[in-house]
Amino acid sequence: MSDSASIMPEHPPVTDWVNDFDHTDPTWTENPFPIWEELRGASPVVHTERFLGCYMPTTYQAVKEIAYDTEHFSSRRVIVRDVRPEITARAPPITSDPPEHKPAKQLLLPPFTPDAMKRLEPRVRAICNELIDEFIADGKCDAAARYTKHIPVRAIAHMLGIPEKDGDLFIKWIHGILELGIKDDNALMGAVREMTGYFAAHLEQRKTNPTDDLISALMKARDKDGNPLADEHVLGSLRLLLIAGIDTTWSAIGSSLWHLAKTPADRERLVKEPELMPLAVEELLRAYSPVTMAREVMKETTISGCPVKPGNMVLLSFPAANRDPAMFPDADKVVIDRKENRHAAFGLGIHRCVGSNLARMEMTVAIEEWLKRIPDFKLDPAGRVTWSEGTVRGPRQLPLLFGKTK
């Protein structure tokens, strides 16, 4: 297949969101919130013929029903794309359905306990300060390119026991899989191949020289019958940790800094009342949830009274669920001391994010360390904020100007 044949045709612009939605449309990427409101007003479930047929639940309730229903909906494909090729590379447990899902997930829980995060936290604080040291004297920076992007990359590299300097490779692969891969199959397959080759080499090294890190921990793990995991399972889980653990968190940190840059009252309050940080982090996660997942309809059913038929994908928008006024009073306002906040930023049901403790810790530390050093900052009017499209939404360019710095 030639390169050009693997790139899907350009998507025509959307003129009717309710019947022809497209989460890769530039209007959605730029500002999805009014679109979600329109869709929610029309129906709890909407449908598009794009992506070979796809539903989108628009309410918290409809999202929850689908997330908990593993009988009618499969997680074997977790990205809504223009094509649905045969499934070759899996990433357990995110692509697993019951009964395989539970044992695969249990293997990944120990590295992400609150205690494990406490041990990692000093390194993450150091990473944040090392990054700030590089640009603070300039009085401005693109916070996405210089700060938010690198924190989760270096943290996960540290956990996996691989060189933090390989971070640029990880960023390239993630871009190929999560953004380019929606419309370009070659970009996706190339990135998966490179990533798998990279981790396979690390596995081989550790077979002769075991280390005390997450890769070795997965290699030492045993399934319920006491057998070691197949290399393919270990590689799939490593791919998952990289893809799911980096883009998501850098987007959440970036959206938080974007909000604080344009909302001085919230920024000043957090500087004066640092004890609000846990509530603020939850509210920023709710308001700017980065992750939209997918399911595949396997059997006909109804969701919130709407018929749903097999052969379609489902765009499972946790971000849209988190803006549902039926679940959250003042859903479109960021209330940094919101007390009651049962948001779905980390998903719902059996596939709830295994790394939520890590993400919360990285987000908290990244915002705290930034505010300690750069308490006063705003969006740079000379620059432009751009957002990623597709599965994970967050600022990819975030030009900021600093006022007072320390």
Distance CA 16, CA 21 (A): 7
pLDDT tens digits, one per residue of 89-116: 778 899 999 999 999 899 899 999 999 9
Give the distance between the most distant pair of CA atoms in the chain.
Answer: 60
Residue 8 has what pLDDT? Answer: 62
Of all residues in the chain, what percent carry a pLDDT higher than 90? 82
Say if 78 falls within a structural domain.
yes
Please indicate whether residue 104 or residue 285 has the higher confidence score (pLDDT): 285
pLDDT tens digits, one per residue of 14-67: 999 999 999 999 999 999 999 999 999 999 999 999 999 999 999 999 999 999
Given a cut of 60, is residue 1 above it in pLDDT? no
Say if 2 falls within a structural domain.
no
Assign residue 312 the CATH number of its domain: 1.10.630.10
Q: How many domains does the chain have?
A: 1
Supply 2's token pair.
Answer: 């030639």
Q: Across residues 153-164, what is the average pLDDT?
A: 93
* CA distances (Å), origin 48, targets 17, 87, 119, 286: 9, 23, 46, 26
Residue 259 has what pLDDT? Answer: 98
Q: Across residues 391-401, what is the average pLDDT?
A: 96
Say if 6 falls within a structural domain.
no
Distance CA 178, CA 123 (A): 27
Say if 23 falls within a structural domain.
yes
Residue 7 has what pLDDT? Answer: 62
DSSP state at residue 55: E
Distance CA 20, CA 341 (A): 32
Given a cut of 90, is residue 6 above it in pLDDT? no
Average pLDDT, the chain: 93
**Cβ neighbours of 230 (radius 10 Å):** 10
Say if 168 falls within a structural domain.
yes
Please indicate whether residue 391 or residue 406 has the higher confidence score (pLDDT): 391
Q: Band the pLDDT of 139: cuts 50, 70, 90.
A: very high
Say if 3 falls within a structural domain.
no
CB half-sphere exposure, 31, CA atoms < 13 A? 5
Residue 188 has what pLDDT? Answer: 85
Supply 311's token pair.
Answer: 């052969």
Say if 187 falls within a structural domain.
yes
Given a cut of 80, is residue 180 above it in pLDDT? no
Q: Across residues 208-216, what is the average pLDDT?
A: 93
Please indicate whether residue 242 or residue 120 has the higher confidence score (pLDDT): 120
Distance CA 331, CA 156 (A): 32
State which residues form the domain around 31: 11-402
pTM for the complete prediction? 0.93
Residue 130 has what pLDDT? Answer: 98
Q: Across residues 306-332, what is the average pLDDT?
A: 98
Q: Across residues 156-166, what is the average pLDDT?
A: 92
Q: Across residues 128-141, what is the average pLDDT?
A: 98
Please indicate whether residue 86 or residue 304 has the higher confidence score (pLDDT): 304
Supply 216's token pair.
Answer: 């070795």
Say if 256 falls within a structural domain.
yes
pLDDT tens digits, one per residue of 326-355: 999 999 999 999 999 999 999 999 999 999
